Each structure stands twice: as C-alpha cells, then as structure tokens.
Chains A and B, each alone.
Chain A
Amino acid sequence: MMGSRGTSAVLSRAARMRQKLQSALEASTLDIEDVSYQHAGHAAVKDNANETHFNIKVISPKFEGQSLVKRHRMVYDLLTDELNSGLHAISIVAKTPKESGS
C-alpha cells in the first residue's frame, strides 16, 4: 500500500526541508546544499548517516523586522522534526528581499 505516508517517507531530508521552509516562509530564494560529505567521520555522525549537514540560504519577506537570532529560530523551529531525527547541523543565511537587493 503506497499511501501518502509511504510517499513522504521516501522523500529525501533535503526535499522535506524545502517543502517546510518554502511553504512557511514564502521564500523567494531557497538554496539547500547538502554538505554532509565535509563532516563524514565526525564523532557525532553515527553509522555513516547521510543528510546530516546542510547549508541553507533563504530570502523571505517574513524576516522583515526580525533580528538575526529570531530569523534563525524561525528556521530551526520549522526543522525541529529533522533536528530530532538525525539532522546534525545547518548553516543559515537568512535575508529579506530588500537586504538581498532583489
């Protein structure tokens, strides 16, 4: 039986993160780069797990008037499930459309 649950289970972490961030932040730019290979063998990365480290660049109007700390918290909050299921670290660049000059 391939219900919607089965479908979401085969989505990569990167794809799930894209869905969550895109819909909540209405991002005009959303770059998600898997840099897990740079951390292979790292003590916290168990059993050769993949999709553990990402660089994320997001440009969103929702960041308007928010401090950097708040913007990062918004991103982290959207990715709580991922952080609790093997996502180890994300590097975040969070800008507003104005700041990005677009």
Chain B
Amino acid sequence: MRETLDKVVGAHKVVLFMKGTKDFPQCGFSHTVVQILRSLDVPFETLDVLSNEALRQGLKDYSSWPTFPQLYIDGEFFGGCDITLSQAFYLLWLKPTHMTVASCV
C-alpha cells in the first residue's frame, strides 16, 4: 500500500483525497477544499476515498492523519481542511502563472 500511495501522491503536483468527487463532494470539509483550490485556479487531481475502503484506511496510516480531506502537494502531506484554509496563501504559488500580488484602493 505504501509504495502504491507513494506513486499516487507523486503522480501529480496537487492531489486531493476527498469524500466524493470534485463536482459532487459528499462532505462539507471536502467541499471547502475543492472550493479553495478552484477559487485560486490551482490545477488538482482528486481521488474519492468513499469509493475505495482500502484506500481510505491505507491513507489514514500513510499520512498519520485520521480524517478526510487530505491534501498532498509535491508528494508531501500539506494538511486537512483547517490547514488548507489557514495556509491558502501558499497555494497561490502552485498556479501555472504566478499571480501578481497587488492591492486595490
């Protein structure tokens, strides 16, 4: 399982393990992370842990994290919903074209 998951999280820059799919999240916390990634225009892949019980259990051990969603960036565990929400600024760097940080008056 560990080797399989190494491959899965390494296959894309941003991988979200969530309940449900991008278009039909089955949990409010998963929905929140999808909304954050979408609103920042960050490209990401998702895997539905509700449709794969072995994946769901395996990830809890692999990540040492008991809940979902789980966000991986560059093969590293980034966080769950709370951390993604509070660290959303860092996700701007994942955009294909970096956003110019500016402010309005």
Binding site for B on A (CB under 8 A): 39, 42-44, 68-69, 72-73, 76, 80, 83, 89-93
Contacts and interface: CB of A to CB of B under 8 A. Distances in A.
Contacts of A76: 65-67
B77 A69 contact: yes
B26 A93 contact: no
A68 B81 contact: no
Contacts, number: 33
A72 B64 contact: no
Given A42-B27, A76-B66, A83-B66, 20 more contacts: A39-B28, A42-B28, A43-B26, A44-B27, A68-B86, A69-B77, A69-B78, A72-B65, A72-B79, A72-B80, A72-B83, A73-B64, A76-B65, A76-B67, A89-B29, A89-B67, A90-B67, A91-B81, A92-B82, A93-B82
Contact of A68 (B29, B65, B83): B83
Q: How big is chain B's contact interface, by range?
A: 10 to 19
A83 B27 CA distance: 17
B51 interface: no
Contacts of B35: none
6 contacts: A68-B79, A69-B79, A73-B64, A73-B65, A76-B66, A91-B81
A89 B19 CA distance: 13
Interface in B49-93: 64-67, 77-83, 86-87
A93 B28 CA distance: 18
B69 to A, nearest CB: 11
